[in-house]
Structure 1
Amino acid sequence: MRIALIEHSAGVGPAALEHWLGDHAVSWHSLHAGAPLPSLEDFELLLLLDGALSVHDERQHAWMAAEKRLIHQALMMRKRVFGSGLGALLLAEALGVRIAADPQAARIGWWQLEKDPQSRQSPVGRMLPQRLLALHWQREHCSLPHGAIGLYGSAAAALQGFVWQERAIGLLCQLEADAPSLDERLQHAAADLHLPGQVQDNASIRDGAPHAASANATLFRLLDYLSGAHAHMT
């Protein structure tokens, strides 16, 4: 499978996603935001990573409008799309959702995910674990896109994951986080820990690193499903 991956910020890379890509991609290339975007013919699966930006930052970052067009076109061409954090918000916006910016509502740290009751309506939802501890690094939130099925919620935010037509998945939390990437993010985004909202301290966030392995395994199951033949035929 040919995969295009877009990174949005320094310190927020693929993390554990690299292990899955090494096992499943025929070819994949990573693009930093602002670089020339791939054409629709270049990929079957588009991966959108998190980042320290807002979906409303098009004035400051002119490349964002072009990326939003690519996401919308990929959906219309029945490509598969996966978004994490900022990537999930960009996906939700492409599906018609208005993204809420609340300067008082940062959610940074580890919270337990609980499966959304709606998840039983989706084959991918039915195979997910009922509970899972996951890293949240959120400054914006969104509602469920029309036609999508909720996968997870948490005490930090009611919506933490969704699937749309079994070929597009968005996760507001970061299941790809691992210990090295967590250290890197804390180094690059130390100022985020002083934002107003539900924000854990540095030590508490580092203490959650042992939970990354189970979160990674769940992410890999989601991507296995998303990249399977059924997603192409839905």
Structure 2
Amino acid sequence: MIGLLELLNANFDIFDNRKKKQFIEMIFTSAHKLQNEMLNILEWALSQAQIISYSPEPVELKILVEDIITLLKQVIINKNISIELKFEEKIFAFVDRRMINTVIRNILANAIKFTPQNGNIVINCLLSNLRTVQITITDSGVGMTPQQIEKAFDKNEFNSTYGTNNEKGTGLGLKICHDFVLKNNGSINITSKINNGTSIILNFPVCEDRIENDSAPQNNETDTNE
């Protein structure tokens, strides 16, 4: 990121507006990735030290997911990825808001990282029963081997794989997700095939007194090109 800033500064009067915009977008993307990695390192350290407290509350999942998409919007636009939201109804989970925000942010960031240009990601949310809400995040990316799936949640494995645009990470993301999901009395599973995308399935306790059975089904696609 510093190298990009130095290059932009040295050539600011030479570059046209299109080139300047391109550099600013690259700097923004690099800054976002650095921020995400630093958050992961901090949250992992706090979690391992058992400093983070579990404070569940009713969380409306559609609003939470939309806020995360907004946070990641520039990265989504840079890869021209389509994000489709399929929410069965207005669903509230009974979870720790900060932890679940971290979980979904990391899973969606991973989906973007391993999905090629012009790919797509679908986020599906439904009540699997009266006590459980299920969120499935499916991408059209490069997929995972059985060995990668087996080691994804292993706290002793920190191998990070390059993304489709050579994005690099810390290897902490899914481990934090696994840790936080368990702290919220949930479950996390991965299904994937090489070159055929990945689905990550999350289950959390539903906030039973906030279920709105009379809500109409929603199928909203996020326009990432605005």
Q: TM-score, normalised by structure 2?
A: 0.28
Which structure: greater helix fraction?
2
Structure with bigger RCO (C-alpha 8 Å, 6+ apart)? 2
Larger-Rg structure: 2
Q: TM-score, normalised by structure 1?
A: 0.27
